[in-house]
Amino acid sequence: MTNTVVVGLQWGDEGKGKIIDVLARDFDIIVRYQGGNNAGHTVLVNKKEFVFHTIPSGILHPKKICVIGNGVVVNPQALLEEIEALRKEDIEVSNDLLKLSESSHLIMPYHRELDRIKDRIGTTKRGIGEAYADKANRVGIRVVDLLDKETLTEKLRVCLKEKNSLFTNIYKQHEGFSLKKIRDEYIRYGELIRSYVIDTTIFINEEIDKGKKVLFEGAQGTLLDIDHGTYPYVTSSNPIAGGACTGAGVSPTKIHRVIGVTKAYTTRVGKGPFPTELSKRLNECIRIKGREYGATTGRPRRCGWLDIVGVRFAAKINAIESLVITKLDVLDDLDKIKICIGYKHNGATIIHFPHSTSSILEEVQPIYEELPGWKMDISHVKDWVDLPKEAKRYLERIKELVEVPICLVSVGPRRDQTIRL
C-alpha cells in the first residue's frame, strides 16, 4: 500500500476512526492534518471504546508513529488529558510514537469563550473557528511559542490587548482575561508537551523518502469543508484530501490514493441544510439503532437517507479511488430503504450538489429511489457472499451511482465487523 488519505464524504462522523484503526496496520505513520478537538473518532477494541479528539486513531497499534500535523489546532489541555487517558489503559504514548508539530496553532481560552458567545451555526464550542481566524489574522499562538516564556508573554500581550478590548467593550459583562494566568497555565502545558514537539513537516517528508507508508486521517467531512462544504454551516478547516498537503506539509505528488468513507445513510450535527433528513419517528429509529449521538458533545445527530448527490460530489472533488460504506447494519430492520439520487428545485432536476449555495439546498426536494430492506441481522457477516441479496443490491446501487468501487463494508463498530471486497 502507498500513502493514502482517508476522508469523510458527508457531514462528519462517517466512522473514520474505526476505518483508520482497521487500515493502520498496513502503514507506518498515521497523520491528523486538520481540525481540532471538535473531532470525535471512535474505535472499539476488546470491548473498550476509545474516542480520539486530537490524537490520530492509529495510536492503538503498537509501534505505529502518530503525528499531529501543522494544520491541526491544538487545545493542549485536551491533548494532555487524551494522553493521560490512553496511558491509564496501558497504551504506549511515548515521544517515539507521538509527534506534535511545532507549527500547530493553539486553541486559547479566549477562543473557546468567543465561540461560545458568537456561535450561530451550532459549533462544538471548542474554539475551532476562532483559533483558525487568529491563524489567518497572523495573531495566532503556536505550539513552538509555548516553549519560550518571553515569546509567549509578548504574543499573548498583543493578542489579549485586542481580545480584552473586544470582551470588555462588546460583551460588557466580561472582565477580560489575565495575561499572567493564561501564560502560567500555557507554560505549564509547554513543559508537559515539549518532548513531543518536532518539525513534523521535515519528519514526514524524510520518512516518506525512506519508503515509510503514511496514512492521513481526515477529521470532519467534505460537506463541512470551509471552501467546498455547505458554507456557512461548515467547520473552519479543509477536511478534503487536498487539506492533507497543507495540513501536513506534503506535496500532492507524494499522496498516492484517497479512500472515501460514507455511512449507509446520512447524519449531521449542528445547523444547516439537510435535504434527506427524516421525519421524527424514523429519525429517532435510526438514531437509537445507530447510537447517533455526538462523540464530542453528546448532541443527538440528525439522521436521514443516504444522499448520493452529496456523496458523488465529495467523491469527485477528493478523486477517491475506493469507497468505504459504514454502519450498514443500522438499516437491518427497515422494510424499505431510500437513496436520494437527485433533487427537484423550482420544477427543475438538479444532479450536482449545490454546495456553494446553502439556500438552494434548503429549498430542494429529494428525488428518491426505493430499495427493499434485508430484514435480518448482518452484524456477524464477514464475507460479501454471506450478505443477504438485498444488502448486496443496495451496495451495488451505491457503487453504480457514485461510480467508484467499494473496498470495505462495515457492519458493526468492532474491527472484525468489517467486510473486505
Chain contacts with Mg ion (rule: CB under 5 A): 13, 40, 295
- Shortest Å, Cβ 269 to Mg ion: 8
Q: 187, 146 in Cβ contact below 8 A? A: yes
Distances in whole angstroms, Cα of residue 57 to Cα of each of 11, 46, 64, 117: 19, 15, 11, 31
Nearest approach, Cβ of residue 42 and Mg ion (Å): 7
User: What would the grid cell of residue 81 be?
Assistant: 488529558
Residue with cell 475506493: 322
Separation CA 321–CA 315 (nearest Å): 9
CB-wise, 208 or 324, nearer to ligand IMO? 324
Burial class of residue 27 in the structure, from the number of CB atoms within 10 Å of its CB (0-12 exposed, 13-18 middle, 19+ buried):
buried
Given ligand IMO, Mg ion, ligand GDP, none, residue 130, with its beta carbon under 5 to 8 Å by kind, binds none
Task: Identify the residue among 13, 21, 102, 307 touching ligand IMO (CB under 6 A).
Answer: 13
* Residue 39 in the binding site for ligand IMO (CB under 6 A): yes
Residue 129 burial (CB < 10 Å; 0-12/13-18/19+)? buried
303 sits near ligand IMO (criterion: CB under 6 A): no
Residue number, 208 or 315, with CB nearest to ligand IMO: 315
Binding flag, residue 129, ligand IMO (CB under 6 A): yes
| In the complex, minimum distance from the CB of residue 216 to ligand GDP, in angstroms, rounded to a whole number | 14
Which range binds ligand IMO by CB under 6 A, 21-29, 58-66, 162-170, 215-223?
Answer: 215-223
Torsion of CA 8, 10, 12, 17, to 10 degrees: -40
> How far is it, in rounded angstroms, from Cα 318 to Cα 297?
28
Q: Does the active-site annotation cover 41? A: yes
Nearer to ligand IMO, 73 or 156 (CB): 73
Q: Which of the residues 21, 41, 105, 329 is marked catalytic?
A: 41
Active-site residue identified among 13, 115, 134, 329: 13
User: C-beta of 286: minimal distance to Mg ion in Å?
Assistant: 16
**Residues making contact with ligand GDP (CB under 6 A):** 8, 12-18, 40-42, 44, 290-291, 295, 326-327, 329-330, 410-413
Instruction: Show Cβ contacts of residue 339 under 8 Å, excluding neighbours closer than 6 positions.
Output: 305, 306, 308, 368, 369, 371, 394, 397, 398, 401
Q: Least separation, in Å, of the C-beta of 109 and ligand IMO?
A: 16
Cell numbers for 295, please give them: 462523540
* 123 binds ligand IMO, rule: CB under 6 A: yes
For residue 270, state whether it binds ligand IMO (rule: CB under 6 A).
yes
H helix and E strand count, the chain: 12, 20
What is 90-158 written as a DSSP string? T----TTTEEEETTPEEP-HHHHHHHHHH-SS---SSSHHHHHHHHHTT---BGGGGG-HHHHHHHHHH
CB of 377 to ligand IMO, least distance (A): 27
- 13 in catalytic set: yes
Taking the least distance from each CB to ligand GDP, the nearer of 41 and 312 is 41
Give the binding site for ligand IMO (CB under 6 A). Answer: 8, 11-13, 38-41, 121-124, 126, 128-129, 219-221, 224, 235-236, 269-270, 295
| Residues designated as active site | 13, 41
